[in-house]
Amino acid sequence: MSTVTAVADLRAVRRRRQTLVVAGMVLVVLVAGTGALLIGAAGLTPGQAIAGALGLGDKGDVFIIQKLRLPRIEAAVVVGAAFGLAGALFQSTLRNPLASPDILGISSGASLGAVIGLLALGMSGVALSGLAFGGAGLVALAIWLLAWRKGLHSIRFVLVGVGFAYLCSSLVAWAMARAEENEAAGVLVWTVGSVSDIRGEQLALVAAGTLVLLGAVAVVSRSQGPLSLGDDNARALGVRVDAARVGALMLAVALVALATSAAGPIAFVALVAPAIARRLVNDGGAALAASTATGAALTLVADVVGQHGLLGVAAPVGIVTGLVGAPYLLWLLATNEKRSR
Amino acid sequence: MVTALAALLLVVLASLALGVRDIAPAEVWRALTSPVAGFMDHDVVLDQRLPRTIVGLAAGVALGTAGTLIQGVTRNPIADPGLLGLNSGASLAVVCAVWLFGVTSPIGYVWFAFLGAAAAAAIVFSVGRGQPVRLALVGAAVTALITPLITLVLLRDQQAFNLYRFWSVGSLTGRGLDTVTALWPFIVVGVVLAAVLSHRLNMLALGDDVATALGQRVGTTRTLAAIAIVLLAGTATSLAGPIALVGLVVPHAARRLVGTDYRWIMGIGALLGPVMLLSADVLGRLILPRSELEAGVVAALLGAPVLIAVARSRNVVGA
Amino acid sequence: MTNLRAEGVSLGYDGLRVIEGLDLTLPDGKITAVVGPNACGKSTLLRGLARLHPLDGGRITLDGADITAMPRKELARKVGMLPQSSIAPDGVRVAELVSRGRYPHQGWFGRHSSDDDAVVTTALESTGVAELADRPVAELSGGQRQRVWIAMVLAQQTDIVLLDEPTTFLDVRHQLDLLDLLTELNRDRGTTVAMVLHELNLAARYADHLVVMSAGRIVAEGAPSDVLTSEVVDEAFGLRAHVVPDPVAGSPLVVPVGRYHSSAVEPSAG
């Protein structure tokens, strides 16, 4: 075997591993999705469920499957994928494994926007989503402007982001303390996020937007490899470092804002999914595809667990994601001692 | 150092004198030295302002010192008690105390908060094994694990939710002096430990290898620091709730003021902590007419700009 | 052949001028070594030549064209640069790291072609790290790691290669190995090599063209045997030294005097 084919083979091994992780996560999505289609209060048989999904059979069954169960599954997958990819982009671009919309204040910006809409303006529905989107976007923009100083430095961006995270979340906590008892519960839900009410046009909009952004990420993702070698090396390899970083971060922010506007800031998906994906792929890369798939799988599983009251109460997905993802991440962290030098 | 001390005295005085009812400094002094029972000004100073000032002093010292220790040990500029899972551990314990045992008095749940923080820290430090990046990741993962548990309890128990709503903002009011009386030894031990460790942190800042080569047992330093962090941050959270940003901002501000020597950073940090917390509390009394903003909210409002200014300063990059 | 040239270049950090109005031409197809005391601006100069550092004044041209007007990728296909102390990301393996040198040659989606594989393989083989292809970079020794980084720059297939202190942290044997490797690259492919070196005697032996810098300007440049005199060493480093012929290569050998241990004659000119 010549060395040329050896290099090609090594690359194929790496690629296979990435594909394997993505395929594994897709399998999790399929299994959890099928489960979510089959189980529920209506108690449909598998046959009825499949017929319903195809638009056949009993009208009521079709309604339950096509209007209630399928949209919720699709929403969890789309929103989860968006969060997973956004987290991976943040973390690799800022070269900090903690950088995620949760820690950088973008999620809490969305929460704050929604809380203001909910309590001060008495809004609901799409208007509220718009305000959440605006909150996330505004915080991202503010971080940007304040962190920019002759280029975009990672540490600066992260520190400014953390400042906003605390600022927004303490304002949310304060609003929650001041609110009436019944309103406060609504605020609580908006701080955790849920996929139960995303359907119809809104779902189509979010799905289409996420798809477009996925495509855009695929185009810019190439510079992530050189960027991980450090700014100087990346420049020497011909990467326009500031432009690449700004591009990747803009896409990440757009993904988060879009997903958050629909589902609220589903906690920890963007933090945990890429961390899991990177450890599974383990090639020193950004693991963008694997993070996307992992985010979708994590969110869907969490929603199935939460929806069917496996925790004793029917819980919105945002409560469960941390419970599903964090133990797995902790286990990975505890067991990969040897590899982390 | 002198300036910081003077600033501290000033905010203590302000904390005793200012509020909905402004009281002249001389009258404050008389209230402390020869109080007249039934005289409104004196009662306000002694019964309301003195306790919250003392709680603020204790929690502030603890937070400032703990924050400095955490950043020194993890070598991570965004590390703080919240990031290491301590606040979420304390919060979970408090809501569980309310939910399961119906505990509602501060002196009752103080101990739960402390144990919760300690348990979370124990997990974080043992899985993190002292490696800075791992510590931060494990802290975030533990927070990710605990926060949903808190929310779950809140969804089940209205009483816990109501208490948590106010507790989680972070405030110096409504805590009796008995909480400080119960917990002050922890702060003393923690501060003494921190003082002893500050010189070791200077070596640790150069990296584990250099510190070891300079004759330091790095593992011991980390363990002692972890103990001090739990004592201090656990106490602070028990006293005042999860106060955001004080533990994060104070070390950065101290570093800007006195440079890189941890012996100085630690000392200044211990003074700046209460300065920041008490100023937040005093400002909170003055911002809204006839109402108060909790110290936790004001601390975040004050701290975020400071943190951003620190981030924008030239020497943070590469730090 | 490509020709990299600095004309009246000024460089600095946040208002602090390090280099003022400096002219330098890297001779085509030759090995150039830049030496000088710490903080004399030699690394800054190299970074400026690779456009890693913005110019405060003057211009840098490649075959007469201003490099700041060039798309970065195009520049990266012509000028390769290995910055000081590069750190590989966790978990990345040798072949993968070296493959990243192909970045400027790839299109939008970065698909690897069999040509890329061949180039990567050649780079791995010529630096002697082909057997390590599947090993994580973090597990390698200092010498191996440096070779891997150089392999990455070789995979970039540029006519000019700039290296900032490539021999730092290497023992004597590995320093020689590395410089021999760069010499082969220069002789076999005609690659123009320019590097910052600390070790004067190795610089004098391996360089065709020696640039001595001090306090942001060039003190002397030319063939090592012409340039490296005890006067120049004194001027640049403030160090008294004998300069004698290297018994192996015949190039100048700098023997510093220092404050102790000198039993022999005072240094004389030459």
3-state secondary structure chain B: CHHHHHHHHHHHHHHHHCCCCCCCHHHHHHHHHCCCCCCHHHHHHHHHHHHHHHHHHHHHHHHHHHHHHHHHHHCCCCCCCCCCCHHHHHHHHHHHHHHHHCCCCHHHHHHHHHHHHHHHHHHHHHHHCCCHHHHHHHHHHHHHHHHHHHHHHHHHCHHHHHHHHHHCCCCCCCCCHHHHHHHHHHHHHHHHHHHHHHHHHHHHCCCHHHHHHCCCCHHHHHHHHHHHHHHHHHHHHHHHCCCCCHHHHHHHHHHHHHCCCHHHHHHHHHHHHHHHHHHHHHHHHHHCCCCCCCHHHHHHHHHHHHHHHHHHCHHHCCC
DSSP labels, C18-31: EEEEEEEEPPTTSE
> Binning pLDDT at 50, 70 and 90, where does residue C219 land?
very high
Percentage of chain B lying above the pLDDT 70 cut: 97
Q: Check CB contact under 8 Å for A163 and B307.
A: yes
Residue at token pair 């809140």: B154
Which residue of A lies nearest to C121 if distances are taken between CA atoms? A4
Backbone angles phi, psi at C164, to 5 degrees: -100, 105
Find the mean pLDDT for residues A311-322. Answer: 76
pLDDT of residue A80: 94
pLDDT digits (tens, 9 = 90+) for B166-204: 888 888 887 777 888 888 899 999 999 999 888 888 887
Tokens at B118, concatenated: 């300690």
Q: Is the pLDDT of residue A48 over 90?
A: no
Instruction: Name the DSSP letter for residue A221.
Output: G
Structure tokens of A44?
């449909």
pLDDT of res. C194: 95
Q: How far apart are CA B69 and CA B265, in angstroms?
A: 10
Summarised one tens digit per residue, pLDDT across range A145-156 is 888 877 777 778
pLDDT for residue C267:
55
| Residue showing tokens 């004389």 | C268
The confidence score (pLDDT) of residue C5 equals 92
Residue of A1, A4, A5, A7 to mutate for C, most C C-beta atoms under 10 A: A7
Q: What is the token pair recorded at B131?
A: 């490696």
CA angle B176, B180, B185 (to 5 degrees): 165
pTM of the predicted structure, to 2 decimals: 0.80
Confidence of residue A176 (pLDDT cuts 50, 70, 90): confident
pLDDT for the residue B132:
65
Which among A10, A238, A340 has CB closest to C134?
A: A10
Q: State yes or no: pLDDT of A96 exceeds 90.
A: no
With beta carbons under 8 A apart, name residues in chain A contacting C96. 10-11, 14, 283-285
CATH number of the domain within which C127 lies: 3.40.50.300
Q: Identify which of B158, B245, B316 has the shortest CB distance to residue A155.
A: B316
Specify the DSSP class assigned to residue A120.
I
Instruction: For residues C103-108, give the mean pLDDT.
Output: 78
Best C62, C78, C116, C134 residue to mutate vs chain A (most A CBs within 10 Å): C134
Q: Taking residues A35-54, report their average pLDDT.
A: 75
Contact A11 C156 (CB under 8 A): no
Structure confidence by residue, pLDDT tens digits, C113-168: 778 888 999 899 888 888 888 888 888 888 888 889 999 998 999 999 999 998 88
Comparing CB atoms, the residue among A4, A232, A236 nearest residue C118 is: A4
The stretch B41-47 carries a mean pLDDT of 80
Phi, psi of A217 (to 5 degrees): -65, -40
d(CA B266, CA B284): 27
Look at A239 and C88 and tell me if their CB atoms are within 8 Å.
Answer: no
**Are B168 and A177 inside 8 Å of each other by CB?**
yes
| Rounded CA separation A137/A109 (Å) | 8
pLDDT band at A338 (very low <50, low <70, confident <90, very high): very low
Classify burial at A28, counting beta carbons within 10 Å of its beta carbon; exposed 0-12, middle 13-18, buried 19 or more: middle
Structure tokens at C114: 């069999």
Written as one letter, the residue type at A128 is L
The secondary structure of residue A150, as a DSSP letter, is S
Closest CA to A286 of A231, A189, A218, A236: A218
As a whole number of angstroms, the distance between CA C105 and CA A237 comes to 10
**pLDDT of res. C213:** 93
Return the SS3 of A152: strand
Give dist(CA B13, CA B28) in Å, integer.
Answer: 8
In which element (H, E) is residue A226 found?
A: helix A224-227
The pLDDT of residue B209:
72
pLDDT at A3: 61
- Whether residue C262 lies inside any domain: the answer is no
Neighbours of chain B (3+ CB pairs under 8 A): A
pLDDT confidence band for A41 (50 / 70 / 90): low
Distance CA A195, CA A321 (A): 12
Of A31-35, A247-251, A284-288, B57-61, which gets the smallest average pLDDT? A284-288
Q: Mark yes or no for CB contact B305/A163 under 8 Å.
A: yes
Asked if the structure places residue C266 within a domain, the reply is no
For residue C246, give how far its alpha carbon lies from the nearest alpha carbon of chain A (Å).
Answer: 35
> B73 to chain A, minimum CA–CA distance in Å?
17
From the list A162, A180, A159, the residue with the least C-alpha distance to A170 is: A162
* Residue that wins the pLDDT comparison between A227 and A32: A32
Average pLDDT over residues C77-103: 84
What is the phi/psi pair of residue A332, to 5°? -60, -45
**pLDDT for A254-273, tens place per residue?**
899 888 888 887 878 998 89
| Residue A202 touches partner C, C-beta closer than 8 Å | no
- Indicate if the pLDDT at residue B66 is higher than 50: yes
Q: Of B91, B103, B106, whose CA–CA distance to B234 is shortest? A: B91
Identify all chain A residues contacting C73, using CB atoms and an 8 Å cutoff: 238
Using the predicted structure, report yes or no on whether residue B316 has a pLDDT greater than 60. no
Least confident interval from A233-242, A287-296, B27-36, C150-159:
B27-36
Domains identified in chain C, total number: 1
pLDDT reported for residue B4? 82
Both tokens of C27, joined, read 């001779």
Fold for the domain defined by B2-316: ABC transporter involved in vitamin B12 uptake, BtuC (1.10.3470)
Q: If you write DSSP's letter for every residue of chain C in order, what string do you get? A: ---EEEEEEEEEETTEEEEEEEEEEPPTTSEEEEE-STTSSHHHHHHHHTTSS--SEEEEEETTEEGGGS-HHHHHHHEEEE-SS--PPTT-BHHHHHHGGGGGGS-TT-PPPHHHHHHHHHHHHHTT-GGGTTSBGGGS-HHHHHHHHHHHHHHT--SEEEEESTTTT--HHHHHHHHHHHHHHHHHH--EEEEE-S-HHHHHHH-SEEEEEETTEEEEEE-HHHH--HHHHHHHH---EEEEE-TTT-SEEEEE--SSS--SPPP---
Across A17-39, average pLDDT: 89
Q: 3-class SS at A148?
A: strand
Contact C33, C10 (CB under 8 A): no
Res. B260: pLDDT tops 50: yes
Q: How far is A84 from chain B (nearest CA, A)?
A: 15
High-pLDDT (> 90) share of chain B, %: 13
CATH value of A3-322 in 3.50.50.60, 1.10.3470.10, 3.40.50.2300, 1.25.40.10: 1.10.3470.10
Q: Please report whether residue C244 resides in a domain.
A: yes
Q: How would residue B319 be classed by pLDDT, with cut points 50, 70 and 90?
A: very low
Our CA-based measurement puts residue A110 at a distance from the nearest CA of chain C, in whole angstroms, of: 32
Yes or no, beta carbons of C133 and A6 under 8 Å apart: yes
Min Cα distance C209 → chain A (Å) is: 23
pLDDT reading at A341 higher than 50: no
Asked if A10 lies within 8 A of C93 by C-beta distance, the reply is yes
User: Of A259-268, B70-79, B116-125, B172-181, where does the model show the most confidence?
Assistant: B116-125
Round the CA-based radius of gyration of chain C to a whole number and report it: 19
Which residues have C-beta within 8 Å of that of residue C94, sequence separation ≥ 6? C124, C129, C132, C133, C134, C135, C136, C137, C140, C148, C151
Q: Which of A223, A237, A340 to mutate to test the interface with C (most CBs of C within 10 A)?
A: A237
Q: Answer yes or no: is pLDDT of A15 > 90.
A: no
In the structure, what pLDDT confidence band is assigned to residue A340 with cuts at 50, 70 and 90?
very low
Structural Rg of chain B based on CA atoms: 19
Q: How far apart are CA A74 and CA A205, in angstroms?
A: 12
Mean local confidence (pLDDT), C10-17: 84
For residue range A197-237, what is the model confidence (pLDDT) as tens digits? 777 788 888 899 999 999 999 888 887 878 878 888 888 88
| Chain B touched by A141 (CB under 8 Å) | no
Q: What pLDDT band is residue B315 in, cutting at 50, 70 and 90?
A: low
- ipTM comes to 0.78
Distance (Å) from the C-alpha of residue B31 to the closest C-alpha of chain A?
Answer: 33
Choose among A2, A10, A240: nearest Cβ to C72. A240
Mean pLDDT of C88-98: 82
Range from A284-288, B288-292, C6-10, C19-23 carrying the lowest mean pLDDT: B288-292
- Please return the burial class of C1, using the count of CB atoms within 10 Å of its CB with bins 0-12, 13-18 and 19+: exposed
Check residue A294 and give its pLDDT. Answer: 94
Question: Taking CB atoms and an 8 Å cutoff, what residues of chain B touch A164?
Answer: 304
pLDDT at C109: 58
Which other chains touch chain C, taking contact as 3+ CB pairs less than 8 Å apart?
A: A
Sorted by where each begins, the domain ranges of chain B are 2-316
Query: Is residue C80 a part of any domain in this protein?
Result: yes
Chains A, B: CB pairs < 8 Å? 161
